[in-house]
Structure 1
């Protein structure tokens, strides 16, 4: 089915508004790039100052063309852009790219001009990219709608491509987007599209991402993100990519300078600047990379290899030291480098000189290369079920000699049985890159990047998209009575949670000493007593908690002491009374929290709780709501997850009950995101398997 943006990315005709003969200036370079790259459609330069440019008729205005135009590239002073776009809309132009700068990035009146562009797009239906964009490049359709020098075609250029599959790039920085393409092109990665989003007055990164997800010519997507504006489109595209298994590599910048956020709960203060972005990326199986060359290496490995069935790697080398280094690096990424079985070692030994090594890493030695041992070892390992991937470590600096014959290597690569990654510890020559590209091989020159790429390949193969959860259909009761107060105490918060269907211990709020006897009879010993006030979120800081109380006398003494201590520390606080509840059985301490992110809305967090929560910050975030299945996956990602799984002989914890509670809290946060700012349940005590969980303390923070 055709997509509305097909006419943007593959236009049959392009008008260049502000076209110029001066190749030193951006308007002149735009026309030059289109022509050099062999744009197959019609080109219409627009500029009243010229009769023709580079042999093409130049028109005074877009209305004078008199032909259908799919795309207008606008490169004129900012003040003239809105008028030019209105003329484009009147002429029936379908799409526009605004190269011009001087809009929202400057603020003031310039920002108002950008708002007017957005309004024009909405009113007319013309799709607009930019302003302040670097344009886009479609390699397959030969559309170089950009001034980036990375798409320039030089007389002696001899591009080569190793990958059958193509990468598509969406960047919120034009310079970085084309830099990713430039580096990928240099090692033989094929491209579908690279597009810079600019200021996103109309078309945003999310919509471009959505296009690449559905595009059959794009096999791997690279995103360079500063901040998502069209959030719903972005999330819909992310889910679709996860459903069809299309890999998405993402770099998110702007991770520093957050500053501390004052918050009533630990949940928000532990959220890093990019916690919500990372949570979204993890939910949808994005491959996070914070290094340009690493991202390109991951893309190279993904476009030239099948997914592995497991994490066992054979390291094959021509240098003993380099092979050991390769094995160490792969192991440090958490992949296995298993010793090979005697039968396969015996087979490999027949191919090597006596001083070679067969265990793994396998050192075929320089002599083994000349005798064909390297190629035949690859053949053996490719057919073996003892390893899932092969890392070939060798020297490819020669300008004349190759360690492989194309006729022997290409069939193995084409068969796509398992990933075979090539790393050269010397700088690979242009000759070597081109020769191996003919067999479908990309040579990597960074060992750590190669190992990271292999790990990411394994993780991508293992990823399973969690089923969606509809918070609106979850059947929560009406909580409006509990949401009426300005600030909630622990007792108020727990009443709200109970009303939402979440199980809590049976507790009694005692306002007068005369009600203590009834509370003791209801709760039983041993018990816990906590002072209650919406103005005291952290009760222990005012001496407001007493635990393990075992006698009636202690209860009466504690009641007076708790109230007196709270009044002394916080004389202005509104005291509701004392909450009396049963002393919980022991269990693993967990924190469950929610927060509202300004971009993605409600988030759910889980981590190991108690007083050390902020010290270790062992927490996992996901967009809310989550299912119990997804909650259990979150728990498995925690560094201290073994504590839930019977660490050092302890009983296995009730992970199923905990996962169900996390799911319930996430649904509550998502359903009432307009009223609830944060929820914190800390600690939750997780008891042995089958014995459930106990919520010890809880705080719900309402939006002001």
Structure 2
């Protein structure tokens, strides 16, 4: 028997008593709105206004202090000047108040001395065990329990505007911006998407987005989670919640803002310069199967489809339309997303033809015409396609502008939607009337109006249905070695880097560093022709930029000339560089060029990257990141996610590459990055040549950057 343990935030989101410290009679201002919205939404528990300036507010006794209440308090909502917030919280903690939401602003967001006030709040929470949301928070709204612990106008109750509810599944929203979190709810509400809870996290002095996310994951009333993220502070809790959501199969939609150039860095490697500001976030999202969206309406559309549909079993879409042109438009939109709009079998087409006028079309897109709407052909076609194994999702393209006439009969459509075997999504190419939206909501249908957003939602659902959670990989303890002794400079030369990697157990080709031209012949005798010669200097991380590489050398005379030219070119382009010599290497066999790299992210730690390699790595930026370490299986999936993946799989008759060897190398380097995250900032192998199947890989060049 499974025992469900209570979550630490259960009484935060479902309090039996709430005190409003700073309550007001003025319902045009935030302190008055907090009390007004709590009462309008019919909070069933006890409400205690606290303000020494009033004897009562709206029929409730108003207490001069929280101590004067004399009753247990589950949640205190604090809306008083910033300078007196800490004292009020101390009083709350002394009286055993379990939770607090600080609506008041004027803390870390203002900088200066205000940061210290927020730090003191965090220390109080740590010392007393009282859990605190905010400061600078907008509170939360628990729709199921009718608890509006917020001043957001989106929770106002207007009896003359009945609430539209189309879904039985509910979304939970965690937002690091109060305004955006409640804006998401506002837009979802207008479509008829039911809500469990929306929470604004504020400045996160104590409770953070990760912990609220964890609550949504275990909350049985929350079916789909929507996150609006600026940056994660409680990383471990966030990652644990992400894995838990993936294990439960609870979809998570995430919008991450702050993707522009705010995170510029002076990067020695291609790996870092290609990372971008949010590469690590995207890597974490990919690992745990999050559905990423960069648009508010798109995210809400995805939520609408997830709360009204099962996941598709494939990528074949049937488009059913009452307008030929609109149907073609719908087919184009889903095709643009890489989904199939297959031609239906003769048998299915023949059945559909019997349901529509002769001037309709049973092909896909299926034009049933407006006439078939009135004869029932539209619904019968939808039912037929829902049962068919020839398609995996249905896009219904329809006009819903009428204020008097519905294309469906609710008693007939409702059981179809309730029992649907695949996504059935409705897009109206006209502005849908309130009459139509309300009528279809009774059947469990959300009417959508953005075709691009709808097609993206189909794509995201298909991808999400294919997601498989990888088993976590532990960081293996590093073998005893003198690796740290070789981290002698901030940036190592290729020779230094390869020496370090060899000590760590990475297989590399035999090479010789020639520090004086007199030793060149001995190096050639050891390496053999054809060979490659490269200048070596810790001050020259990118050798090709100074003419520091010579390839396919086949004679001693060519080697001698190359040695002189490399030294001269390096001194010309980098006169201040300290030269170590020339590295003599065997000419590598042909293979597909990839880049394998690692970097340290300030939030999530070591990351491993793989991409299309060589000198064009930064040009194409065809790269995939994951948190390190990764298994060989996850590394193989990273390779498969590259746009250039066909080059590894026998593109146009070329031999299939040794993907397993490449994956093993990626996994090995990811372990190295995790083991030495305290010492190594970046590793880059570029290019790595992936040879034909069973022939392994060759690391041509390497760069290691010491952690500053």
Normalising TM by the smaller chain, what interval?
over 0.9
Match for residue 660 of structure 1? 664
2:311 to 297, 307, 314: 307
User: What does residue 366 of structure 1 align with?
Assistant: 370
Between stretches 588-597 and 483-492, larger displacement belongs to: 483-492
Between the aligned partners of 1:227 and 1:584, the Cα distance in structure 2 is: 43
Q: CA deviation at 1:475?
A: 5.7
Which structure 2 residues correspond to residues 83-94 of structure 1 after superposition, within 5 A? 83-94=87-98
Deviations 1:664-698, CA, capped at 9 Å, x for gaps: 11111111111111111111111111111110000
Q: Cα offset for 1:298? A: 0.4
Whether the 8 Å contact between 1:433 and 1:443 is mirrored in structure 2 is: yes
Q: Which residue of 2 aligns with 1:211?
A: 215
The 8 Å contact of residues 37 and 148 in structure 2, kept in 1 or not, is answered as: yes
Cα deviation 1:265-306 (Å, max 9, x = unaligned): 111111222222222212211111111111111001000101
Q: 1:33 to 1:501 in 2, by over 3 A?
A: same
1:584 deviates by 0.3
Match of 2:594 among 590, 595, 598: 590
What is the CA distance between 1:484 and its match in structure 2? 4.5
Which string of whole-angstrom CA distances, capped at 9 and with x for unpartnered residues, describes residues 13-47 of structure 1? 10000011111111111000000001011111111
What is the CA–CA distance in structure 2 between the aligned matches of 1:565 and 1:389, rounded to whole Å? 62
Alpha-carbon deviation of 1:553? Answer: 3.1
- What do the CA deviations read for 1:142-189 (whole angstroms, capped 9, x no partner)? 110000000000121311311111100001110110011011111110
Q: Is the 8 A contact 1:476 1:668 kept in 2?
A: no
Q: 1:359 to 1:467 in 2, by over 3 A?
A: same
Is residue 125 from structure 1 mapped to residue 114 from structure 2 by the alignment?
no
Q: Does 1:332 align with 2:336?
A: yes
C-alpha spacing 1:439/1:478, structure 2 compared with 1 (3 Å): farther
Distance in 2, Cα, partners of 1:444 & 1:420: 12
Give distance in 2, aligned partners of 1:394 and 1:547: 63
1:239 counterpart = 2:255: no
Give deviations 1:314-349, integer Å, cap 9, x for gaps.
111111111111111111111111010001111111
Contact 2:264 2:277 in 1 (8 A): no
TM normalised by structure 1 equals: 0.98
Shift of the alpha carbon at 1:541? 2.9
SS at 1:105 equivalent: helix
Indicate the residue corresponding to 1:154 in structure 2. Answer: 158
Aligned match of 1:176: 180
| Aligned equivalent of 1:631 | 635
Q: Could you tell me how far apart the structure 2 residues matched to 1:572 and 1:365 are?
A: 77
1:61 deviates by 0.8
Secondary structure at the aligned position of 2:615 is classed as helix
- C-alpha separation between the residues in 2 aligned to 1:127 and 1:400? 52
**How far, CA to CA, are the matches of 1:587 and 1:18 in structure 2?**
70
Question: Which deviations, in whole Å up to 9, do the C-alpha atoms of 1:329-379 show, x marking residues without a partner?
Answer: 111111111010001111111111110100111111111111111111111
Stretch deviating more after TM superposition (154-163 or 361-370): 154-163
Alignment correspondent of 1:75 = 79
Residues 378 and 488 of structure 1, relative CA distance in 2, 3 Å threshold: same
Change (3 A) 1:416 1:21: same
Q: By how many angstroms is 1:545 displaced?
A: 2.1
What is the aligned partner in structure 1 of residue 54 from structure 2?
50
Residue 454 in 1 paired to residue 479 in 2? no
Per-residue CA deviation, residues 187-213 of structure 1 (Å, 9 max, x unaligned), is: 110100000011111111111111111
In terms of mean alpha carbon deviation, does 477-486 or 692-701 score higher? 477-486
Change in 2 beyond 3 A, CA 1:162/1:478: farther
Distance in 2, matches of 1:62 and 1:259, equals: 44
Q: Distance in 2 between matches of 1:424 and 1:571?
A: 68
User: 2:414 aligns to what?
Assistant: 410
Aligned twin of 1:221: 225
Are positions 1:256 and 2:257 aligned together?
no
SS of aligned partner of 2:172:
strand
Q: Which runs of 4+ in 1 moved over 4 A?
A: 473-478
State the SS of the aligned residue for 1:250: strand
Instruction: Extract unaligned runs of 5+ from structure 2.
Output: none
Matches within 5 A, 1:388-427: 388-427=392-431
* Superposition deviation, residue 563 in structure 1: 3.0
Q: Determine if the alignment matches structure 1 residue 428 to structure 2 residue 432.
A: yes
Q: In the alignment, which residue of structure 2 is the partner of 1:642? A: 646
For residues 78 and 497 of structure 1, the distance between their equivalents in structure 2, rounded to whole angstroms, comes to: 54
Cα distance change, pair 271–476 in 1 and its aligned pair in 2 (3 A):
farther
Cα 1:562–1:112, aligned 2, differ >3 Å: closer, same or farther? same
Structure 1 residues 478 and 413, CA gap change in structure 2 (3 angstroms): farther
What does residue 120 of structure 2 align with? 116
SS at match of 1:576: strand
Per-residue CA shift, 1:580-612, capped at 9, x if unaligned?
A: 111101111111111112222211111111111
User: What is the CA distance between 1:259 and its match in structure 2?
Assistant: 6.7
Cα distance in 2, alignment partners of residues 72 and 265 from structure 1 = 51
| Match in the other structure for 1:297 | 301
| Between 531-540 and 651-660, the greater mean CA deviation after superposition | 531-540
Question: Deviations for 1:361-406, whole angstroms, at most 9, x for unmatched residues?
Answer: 1111111111111111111111111111111111111122111112
Deviation of the 1:416 alpha carbon:
2.8
Tell me the distance in 1 between the aligned counterparts of 2:390 and 2:569.
67
Aligned to 1:445: 449
Give the C-alpha shift of residue 486 in structure 1.
Answer: 4.4
Equivalent residue for 1:96, pick from 97, 100, 113: 100
Q: CA deviation at 1:474?
A: 7.0
Structure 1 Cα separation of the partners of residues 394 and 238 of structure 2 = 35
Give the SS at the match of 2:470: coil
1:125 deviates by 0.6
Listed as ranges, the gaps of 5+ residues in structure 1 are: none
Aligned to 1:282: 286
Name the counterpart of 1:529: 533
Identify the match of residue 619 of structure 1 among 620, 623, 642: 623
Counterpart of 2:64 in structure 1 is 60
Does 1:190 pair with 2:201? no
Alpha-carbon distance, 1:483 to partner: 2.9
Calculate the aligned-residue CA RMSD, in Å.
Answer: 1.5
CA contact (8 A) 2:261 2:276 kept: no
Q: Distance in 1 between matches of 2:583 and 2:261?
A: 41
Residue of structure 2 aligned with 1:673, choices 672, 677, 682: 677
Using the TM superposition, give the Cα deviation of residue 222 of structure 1 relative to its aligned residue in structure 2, in angstroms: 0.5
**1:477 to partner: Cα distance:** 5.3
Q: Would you say the 8 A contact 1:137–1:194 is kept in 2?
A: yes
- Specify the SS of the correspondent of 1:471: coil
How many residue pairs get aligned? The number is 704
Aligned to 2:499: 495
Query: Does structure 2 retain, via aligned residues, the 8 Å contact 1:476–1:500?
Result: no
Asked if the contact 2:17–2:47 (Cα under 8 Å) also holds between the matched residues in 1, the reply is yes
